[in-house]
Structure 1
Amino acid sequence: MSIASALAASGMTAAEARVQLRVEQAVVLKRIVAVKRRLRESSAQLESLEARLREIHEGQQILGDSSA
């Protein structure tokens, strides 16, 4: 479907469509920023947990724990 036919089908003018697209763009960009922030937080949490697991394994090896 061409842009012209999509506009005609929606009943919006080109100006209205531009405004609508800008609004949708702002919403999507905000969601992207939020997801990236959560991803960074999750990544930091994963690093911390992996470091703690390494410390636990080292402690088990020092104590001669054969199940480590």
Structure 2
Amino acid sequence: MHHGDNLDDAGRALPARAPAQRTVLPVHYEGWQHFRENREDIERELAAGPRALRESLRWLTAGDPADVAV
């Protein structure tokens, strides 16, 4: 997944691209009107996805600094 990629309504774009990625940082999934899914929705959709994808997700907290391996 690359900067600027978006998920569709059910997070389907992410599984297509993410397995080769070390770290996936979901952003802008809450607080924007045009996104209807929240973190729980995304996690539920991806629960049956590839293990590597689930393990690559790193949920950040807005306003908290974080070191990220890329």
TM-score, normalisation: structure 1: 0.22
Q: Which has the larger radius of gyration?
A: 1
Select the structure with the greater relative contact order (CA < 8 A; seq sep ≥ 6).
Answer: 2
